[in-house]
Structure 1
Amino acid sequence: MSQQLNSYSEPTIQVIKRNGQPAPYQASKIATAITKAILAVEGQAASGSSRVKQTVDQLVDEIGQRISRYRPDGGAVNIEEIQDQVELGLMRKELHKVARAYVLYREEHAYRRTEQEQEQAQIGIRVAHADGSESLLNRGRLSAVIGWACSGLDDVDVARLLNDAEGNLYHGIKQQDVATALIMAARSLIDEEPNYSQVTARLLLEALREEVQGFLAVDEVSAGAVGLEAMYYPQTLLASIERGITLELLSPELLCFDLARLGEAIKPERDLQFTYLGLQTLYDRYFLHWRESRLELPQVFFMRVAMGLALHEQDRDQRAIEFYELLSSFDYMCSTPTLFNAGSKRPQLSSCYLSTVPDDLGGIYDAIKDNALLSKWAGGLGNDWTPVRAMGSVIKGTNGQSQGVVPFLKVVNDSAVAVNQGGKRKGAVCAYLECWHLDIEEFLDLRKNTGDERRRTHDMNSANWIPDLFMQRVFEDKSWTLFSPSDVPELHDLYGQAFVERYHHYEAMAERGEITLCKTVPAKQLWRKMLASLFETGHPWITFKDPCNIRSPQQHVGVVHSSNLCTEITLNTASDEIAVCNLGSVNLSNHIVNGELDRERLRKTIHSAIRLLDNVIDINYYAVKEARNSNLKHRPIGMGVMGFQDALYQLGYCYGSVEAVQFADLSMELISYHAIEASAQLAKERGCYESYQGSLWQQGVLPIDSLQLLREQRGESYAILDDNCELDWQPLRELIAQHGMRNSNVMAIAPTATISNIVGVSQSIEPTYQNLFVKSNLSGEFTVINPWLVKELKALGLWDSVMVNDLKYYDGSLSQIERVPEELKARFATAFEIDSRWLVEAASRRQKWIDQGQSLNLYMAEPSGKMLDNLYKLAWTRGLKTTYYLRSLGATHMEKNTEASHPVEEPLIEPAEKEFDLGERQEEAAFCSILDPECEACQ
């Protein structure tokens, strides 16, 4: 067996057997099964054949690689999935007779299992209880639970599931493992029928109910009740809050609410909205727990969060019910820190923190300490490192030379790993560096797998902070000068024309020899190195300094020096201010009614959500005083969106289309209008934020108006922007003029990496990654299948086992499945089949309405230097403030990839003169929150 094969042996992967029990993954067992299938066809004479051994080794290696691709840090896989992979592997190698022999082998063993199950059925399965006693399995209750889990759902088979579930049971099974066996039986069918995801969620819900109500000793529980009838939410809410306070997990202030009234306001039927991925995510990481026992049912959880956000309201009970309606309906969802900590004794509810690191040793380590404290309470971090002097700079105190920024970033990297947000998710930080910094070239290499490990940061994110002047010089093929900030201290706080003038001044000083620690390089050369590093390592991301500042409403009181962990926040930072942003996202999919955007429902959702977000600022626990100072002074919030792709499916639009771009424009205009309107009305009720005077808001300049400021700074040739409007904005301008704004910033589109899983919609503004794939996160591995696609295929009579296997083989793509109509292939094109310029165009239309930024991932199946050059130049000329990950496919996917569908016309930018080398292709680009099980982004 090859060395590669050994890398997939135990204990990395756990195999879930049919009885629900885990066992170590053993490649040798797969090899044995394949060998038996080959010998069944070729005869025993082939048993010593080197050809057979080589074939078996190759197949086992490929299967191990495929299973481990989505489980880089280990995990669990169902035995049926392994056997499916064996079948597909044999078919790919055109060993069709062997594949048939293997199928017969599986059927024979299935028949034997059925006989054993029938024998057990005659005797009766005995269940072991925690106290050591045993009893016969209650088959009537088992049938009732499965029947309830399947009720009201189309195309699910109660009898089949009951039979499969009983096949997972065995004599002596533990009581708690019975529920696991049911869940495992249902989840294995999700790839055949998406509704089994809801079935699995309901089976998990029933297990959760027994766990919670048993721990809380809710007296009203009836032994025979199942499903929603057994939830007893009013009693469970009271018991959960009281026990949470007793265990010092929740704030005693929650007892000030009328818990009886709130309990009656709970809607148990909303438990039925969950997919398996959503409910399992809540179960593993969000519900309050004590020594592995959960204290909350789903609707108790939403009500507890709502109560925590209504603590300071005058009519707190009514507002708690309003916020509960908002969350439990899935119309809107708070960010992860808010869900984690609302109502707790340490309610750290904010999502993102931005800081500037000063150029002195004490300040540097104070910043690292602040990172640790903020990360402890689930905050995502963005650090501006531009002020720190470059390598080779003189340290006056010691008369030595600085080692530059990079050694400190290594400390930041290790600190982020050490402080893991209480075990709920991995700590995460992003370092920003402006591209005139003399250490920029070494900064580009931070994530490389070669070089001095002491100058590498494999767990930390990084981003380039790029001024417009650099981009102009790239276009014009001019030189670019790198400086140490200790020699050019003013550049850090300048942007626009003021930056250009001062930069020219420093370049002239360098030419005269007055600044010696500097370096001049061709701007195109540095730009290409940026793109090559981005492709090779996924970092640093490309973000743009000038549009972030020129369009900032708060430019009168400071400078935006960086963005945050996920590149959507653009707030000022200073020595006495750590910027804070409080996030949440509207579920756009829920606001499509009868094929149209329900504008009134959207307005209602946004007004409640803005009030909720503003409450976060006053309730929030601040781990460092600089964060409190900044948040109370400026009161920024970030209203975002998720479910954009789902909305397009409902409207019948292709993601790569003019219609999708126009919908992005209209939907964001409505969100912008109502978010600003809600903040202005809150200002009428609660007063303006402290630093309002002098802001762009106070000057009557709204986000849409600030596009003109960008045009004036850049010139028309470098600012190709759309400023069309549908709504009448004059009444809103008058409202702001009369009452001001409650919040300095109100919009930002975050990745929604986890909360979209909870709600069961597509992430943020992302296109569909694959129509069928295995998603891996801290809660495990989940089959994700596009329900919108399945609905369309069913209508055409095309949804069958062959289609399922085709989707698996082609990695969730329809492009090479001949019997699928072209219209469906276009509408359900996956992220790598869509020309990324469509994503940029849609993002540009959103950006004109947003006072902050958006987390924009870009996808490219087969990147080339020219394509990347044009794509990121397009992003800049279209006025984007930031970009996020660049996604690319590995070599294993290339042969299945097709050309991008619906290409847009060539962008109005200067193309690269020639191709340039991107460096060695990576096997597979890292996928934040898709393939990386520990990366959850800031939501």
Structure 2
Amino acid sequence: MTIASTSRSAADEAGHGAQLTVVRRDGSNTPFDATKISVAVTKAFLAVEGNDAGATHRVRDLVTDLTGRVVEALTRRGDAHRSLQVEDIQDQVELALMRAGEHQVARAYVLYREERTKARTPSDAAELVETKPVVSVRQADGTRAPLDVERLRVIVAEAAAGLDSVDPEQILNETIGSCYDGIAQHEVELALVMAARSYVETEPQYSYAASRLLLDQIRREALGRVHGEPRQASQADMATAYPEYFPRYISTGIEAGLLDPELATFDLDRLSAAIKPERDLDFAFLGLQTLYDRYLLHIDKTRFELPQAFFLRVAMGMALREEDREGRAIQFYELLSSFRFMSSTPTLFNSGTTRPQLSSCFLTTVADDLSGIFNGIRNNAMLAKYSGGLGNDWTPVRGIGAKIRGTNGESQGVVPFLKIANDTAVAVNQGGKRKGAVCAYLETWHMDIEEFLDLRKNTGDERRRTHDMNTANWVPDLFLQRVEADGQWTLFSPDEVPDLHDLFGPAFQEAYEKYEAAADRGEIRVFRRVRALDLWRRMLTVLFETGHPWITFKDPCNLRSPQQHSGVVHSSNLCTEITLNTTVDETAVCNLGSVNLIAHLTETGLDADLLRDTVKTAVRMLDNVIDVNFYTTPESERANQRHRPVGLGLMGFADALFSLRIPYSSEAAIAFADSSMEAISYHAIEASSDLAAERGSYSTYEGSLWSKGILPIDSLEILREARKGDVILDDAKSLDWDTLRAKVLRDGMRNSNVMAIAPTATISNICGVSQSIEPAYSNLFVKSNMSGEFTVANPYLVNDLKARGLWDQVMVSDLKYHDGILTNIDRVPADLRELYATAFEIDPLWLIKSASRRQKWIDQAQSLNLYMASPSGKALDELYRNAWRYGLKTTYYLRSQSKTHVEKSTLQGTDGKLNAVSATIAAAVPAAVPAVVPVTAPSVIDDTPLGEPTGAICSLEDPDCEACQ
């Protein structure tokens, strides 16, 4: 039997009588013929294995099997009578080859496909138009008009302007080939975007082309809605269109009840003249698509807000209480629209609207009585409704077996109430904009700590599980000291040891030991003794298995807090970067935004003057948020007005390293982390002190560390003394801190806290930069979020490979095969493999050391993910004890690799449909990881594998931390 006949048999069997047709590139239809698949696959095998390959039984059987797989995949994806695109069939062939492990053959097929594409691509779109039947386009009102090819040509040419690696004819040809008679206008626009997106994996510049094509769709939608009639405008038209549009946009938003009527009282002509339409071209596709899907205002799902109007609206909302409102709004707009700084997501969502809830994070303490517990859950719902991320301190709630005086019964502990809080977070999903999210914190001495550890497990009583709630351990230093000494640890119910909740450092140790002695004398009713090492081992095991609870450290958060005189830090927030005091009567609130490092970089380093200007304006913007904010609970308003904390962070750290040619795993990277954060810290404190001179210090300033001349860098000594020197801290500095210290003592501080590094999961997408302080976790992947799935290629790597003549389709195929990791691609020079090493190739101790250098400058904390290629008990023990010993305040997710990564297929033509680098934990754990050297003592845990994971760690490409930014 011939290959063709066996292939046809396989196709008939797989298709089950399917009557597929293929849409040719000239628009005509032909019957689907599976033998063409077998011929193409056979040629690929011949190219790799020689001319005799086709005669071997192995190849014949493989061709038959692969052809059957392709046909089966094509027929199971929808109507058996549907039409197929040629590219769709080719994608499935390549996918089948990859899945079969025939990677060399797949590479040959990719090259064959590329050659065929070049051979048949017309030199000009006119050739394609001549061979294609006349296509009519269905308008919104149902009328039809001929496809306006000339306008498409203008739009595509604009999209490619300045992008030397983008071929506008290629996009135009692809688009025209996808159009059919009767196609809807919005489908034409989509075809343009998809045509450009399909080339992103081979040329990152196509991401900007796709963004500009999407921009044309947004212009039509927004201008038509605001003007009340169909409107289209090219980018060249927007210099005059924006000033005409903007006042109408404000009126439209106010009439719809979406914008604050006070915006109409601004000098709109002055503001309109400040708009810079050319900045619409600065978005990469992921950024603009995210903006369109989730941020731009709409009426009945029709957007009426253009990107620059969006930035200006946000700026106006934050300038409402300024004396020169227009001048400040333009200043704020300049910062946002240039991507030098970006406010957090709640601010972007709500600034200038009728419900301006602009704050990012809320921290609460839950009281130990039924009324207090349900008031806390109610507050969660109210705070989450308007896009807040929540951190709840549940430590005061009494443990299992504790006495309930009102009923003379015994408590069921904290877990049943956590279940209710979990379900509340699911129910309140922030209006569909993004997931509601909450993190519960519990101190390590709480009686219910062991049940708390199991909350995210997939086994056990579902009534005592919280699959949607994040959890975190609030760990005192004394516990880790007991772990290292292999001592005992005593669990208590907080109703019998009420002051432990508010104590830290040496005072906590003294009280804790007194309670232990009281328990030994029989004076405490509910307590339990455990081996500290066993509990620590269980904490790490559960963290490995479920990704929770995170490890955060109570004592450094409090010992270095500027606000020790007015309360206690009882927890962090949803993303572990906020460390503010909470009580039952005060909900801590933080207003976040991030400096884009790469926007301040020169060939030699950071532009100090530009950075200072950015930070000074950004701190003013964040401080303004406090006064214009819409507060949903009295507890949050009370705390925010009294203490006025803000959290200025950064993003684009990995981009900066790439630009400076500094590998992440190097002393130079640690030094840059140190110097960049020192500069931000210096200017942020200076800016807050300037605001204090202008507006007055926050009301609880007196008695704070600030008022004593103790800056964050100085508070390192407090931690060192409390730990009796058992800590690794670097206190080197390069700026004139004495002068700044004197200024703070003279002028005061406007804000109790000024800095915090948040994950920037979404705003970094808008700006088109790497997330926060994260290392790159792949050089080619598909990123998923609530806007969809997007191909992302590392543009720095692509440019380097181009410069060395190494960027070609084979390299793309190799990157996909190796999950965006360069280590095993021999063609890539060693220096590039080192520079572009991904997160799982980097020894995590480098992450901790860099974070430690940043932490010395920060008055709050940083959202620090830790990556391990192959976790083991010993490795995790050393990792987290290093994090503690290097003085970190918190850690965030533990991320580990799965066995299956990027789907081994083409991304071309299927962008948005493939799996990305997964961050679920590996099912099998190797015995060792890249060396993490213990800093003082060997691991207290052996290297026994931790067991099978029972739940997924937060996905890298779909982070729940979006609730922060």
Q: Same fold per TM (> 0.5)?
A: yes
Q: 1:934 to 1:528 in 2, by over 3 A?
A: closer
Secondary structure of residue in 2 paired with 1:232: helix
Secondary structure of residue in 1 paired with 2:610: helix
Partner of 1:202: 212
Q: TM-score, normalised by structure 1?
A: 0.90
1:629 & 1:252 partners in 2: Cα distance?
A: 26
**C-alpha offsets along residues 4-41 of structure 1, whole Å, 9 cap, x if unaligned?**
xxxxx9xxxxxxx9999xxxxxxxx9999988977999
How far apart are 1:164 and its partner, in Å? 0.7
Secondary structure of residue in 1 paired with 2:845: helix
Contact 2:211 2:285 in 1 (8 A): yes
Secondary structure of residue in 2 paired with 1:208: helix
Task: Please tell me whether residue 145 in structure 1 is matched to residue 155 in structure 2.
Answer: yes
1:362 & 1:81 partners in 2: Cα distance?
A: 59
Partner of 1:323: 332
Partner of 1:513: 522
Give, as a single letter, the amino acid of the residue that structure 2 aligns with 1:910: P
Match of 2:785 among 777, 783, 795: 777
Task: Please tell me whether residue 682 in structure 1 is matched to residue 708 in structure 2.
Answer: no
Contact 1:433 1:440 in 2 (8 A): yes
Partner of 1:696: 705
Partner of 1:931: 957
1:97 & 1:351 partners in 2: Cα distance?
A: 50
Q: TM-score, normalised by structure 2?
A: 0.88
Partner of 1:912: 940
Secondary structure of residue in 2 paired with 1:891: coil
**C-alpha offsets along residues 703-757 of structure 1, whole Å, 9 cap, x if unaligned?**
11110000111111x2111101111111111111111110000000000000000
Contact 1:141 1:224 in 2 (8 A): no
Contact 1:19 1:170 in 2 (8 A): no
Secondary structure of residue in 1 paired with 2:565: coil
Q: 1:308 to 1:913 in 2, by over 3 A?
A: closer
Contact 1:150 1:158 in 2 (8 A): yes
Secondary structure of residue in 2 paired with 1:936: helix
**C-alpha offsets along residues 615-634 of structure 1, whole Å, 9 cap, x if unaligned?**
00010000000000000000
Q: 1:138 to 1:32 in 2, by over 3 A?
A: same
1:78 & 1:490 partners in 2: Cα distance?
A: 70
Q: 1:281 to 1:900 in 2, by over 3 A?
A: farther
Match of 1:473 among 482, 486, 499: 482
1:923 & 1:57 partners in 2: Cα distance?
A: 35
Partner of 1:454: 463
**C-alpha offsets along residues 871-903 of structure 1, whole Å, 9 cap, x if unaligned?**
100000110000000000113358999999996
Unaligned 5+ segments in structure 1 are 1-8, 10-16, 21-28, 68-76
Stretch moving more, 223-232 or 601-610 = 223-232
Q: What are the residue-to-residue correspondences of 1:146-161 with 2, within 5 Å?
A: 146-161=156-171
Partner of 2:906: none
Contact 2:335 2:341 in 1 (8 A): yes
Contact 1:87 1:103 in 2 (8 A): no
**C-alpha offsets along residues 652-700 of structure 1, whole Å, 9 cap, x if unaligned?**
1001100000011011111111100011110000001000110000011
Contact 1:390 1:439 in 2 (8 A): yes
2:425 & 2:740 partners in 1: Cα distance?
A: 43
How far apart are 1:516 and its partner, in Å? 3.5
Give, as a single letter, the amino acid of the residue that structure 2 aligns with 1:412: A
Contact 1:78 1:188 in 2 (8 A): no
How far apart are 1:650 and its partner, in Å? 1.1
Secondary structure of residue in 1 paired with 2:419: helix
Task: Please tell me whether residue 527 in structure 1 is matched to residue 539 in structure 2.
Answer: no
Match of 1:501 among 506, 510, 514: 510
Match of 1:370 among 359, 363, 379: 379
Give, as a single letter, the amino acid of the residue that structure 2 aligns with 1:714: R
Q: What are the residue-to-residue correspondences of 1:493-642 with 2, within 5 Å?
A: 493-642=502-651
Q: What are the residue-to-residue correspondences of 1:248-263 with 2, within 5 Å?
A: 248-263=257-272
How far apart are 1:371 and its partner, in Å? 0.3
Contact 2:399 2:493 in 1 (8 A): yes
Q: What are the residue-to-residue correspondences of 1:100-499 with 2, within 5 Å?
A: 118=128, 121-217=131-227, 225-227=234-236, 229=238, 232-499=241-508
Partner of 1:811: 819
Q: 1:57 to 1:730 in 2, by over 3 A?
A: farther
Task: Please tell me whether residue 761 in structure 1 is matched to residue 769 in structure 2.
Answer: yes
Give, as a single letter, the amino acid of the residue that structure 1 aligns with 2:885: T
Match of 2:757 among 749, 768, 779: 749
2:605 & 2:576 partners in 1: Cα distance?
A: 31
Partner of 1:800: 808
Contact 2:551 2:892 in 1 (8 A): yes
How far apart are 1:916 and its partner, in Å? 3.5
Q: 1:511 to 1:231 in 2, by over 3 A?
A: farther
Secondary structure of residue in 1 paired with 2:592: strand
Unaligned 5+ segments in structure 2 are 1-13, 15-21, 26-31, 46-52, 78-83, 902-921
Contact 1:861 1:889 in 2 (8 A): yes
2:927 & 2:815 partners in 1: Cα distance?
A: 18
1:897 & 1:800 partners in 2: Cα distance?
A: 35
Q: What are the residue-to-residue correspondences of 1:45-56 with 2, within 5 Å?
A: none
How far apart are 1:175 and its partner, in Å? 1.1
Q: What are the residue-to-residue correspondences of 1:33-112 with 2, within 5 Å?
A: 80=87, 83-84=90-91, 86-91=93-98, 93-94=101-102
Contact 2:871 2:926 in 1 (8 A): no
1:44 & 1:133 partners in 2: Cα distance?
A: 58
Contact 2:872 2:925 in 1 (8 A): no
2:814 & 2:652 partners in 1: Cα distance?
A: 26
Contact 2:359 2:591 in 1 (8 A): yes
1:286 & 1:422 partners in 2: Cα distance?
A: 12
Contact 1:90 1:96 in 2 (8 A): no
Task: Please tell me whether residue 732 in structure 1 is matched to residue 760 in structure 2.
Answer: no
1:272 & 1:493 partners in 2: Cα distance?
A: 52
Give, as a single letter, the amino acid of the residue that structure 2 aligns with 1:879: G
1:337 & 1:121 partners in 2: Cα distance?
A: 51
2:35 & 2:925 partners in 1: Cα distance?
A: 33
Give, as a single letter, the amino acid of the residue that structure 2 aligns with 1:742: R
Q: 1:129 to 1:748 in 2, by over 3 A?
A: same
Give, as a single letter, the amino acid of the residue that structure 2 aligns with 1:918: L
1:195 & 1:55 partners in 2: Cα distance?
A: 34
How far apart are 1:118 and its partner, in Å? 4.6
Q: 1:700 to 1:233 in 2, by over 3 A?
A: same
Secondary structure of residue in 2 paired with 1:806: helix
Give, as a single letter, the amino acid of the residue that structure 2 aligns with 1:152: G
Secondary structure of residue in 1 paired with 2:141: coil
Q: 1:104 to 1:491 in 2, by over 3 A?
A: same
Q: 1:60 to 1:817 in 2, by over 3 A?
A: farther
Give, as a single letter, the amino acid of the residue that structure 1 aligns with 2:727: A
Contact 1:467 1:544 in 2 (8 A): yes
How far apart are 1:911 and its partner, in Å? 2.5
Q: What are the residue-to-residue correspondences of 1:845-884 with 2, within 5 Å?
A: 845-884=853-892
Aligned Cα root-mean-square deviation (Å): 3.4
2:213 & 2:748 partners in 1: Cα distance?
A: 50
1:700 & 1:18 partners in 2: Cα distance?
A: 74
Contact 1:829 1:901 in 2 (8 A): no
Contact 1:873 1:909 in 2 (8 A): no
Contact 2:843 2:930 in 1 (8 A): yes
Give, as a single letter, the amino acid of the residue that structure 1 aligns with 2:767: V
How far apart are 1:44 and its partner, in Å? 14
**C-alpha offsets along residues 808-859 of structure 1, whole Å, 9 cap, x if unaligned?**
1111111110010000000000010111100000000000000000000000
How far apart are 1:197 and its partner, in Å? 0.3
Stretch moving more, 502-511 or 119-128 = 119-128
Contact 2:562 2:706 in 1 (8 A): yes
Give, as a single letter, the amino acid of the residue that structure 2 aligns with 1:306: A
Secondary structure of residue in 1 paired with 2:517: helix
Contact 1:426 1:935 in 2 (8 A): no
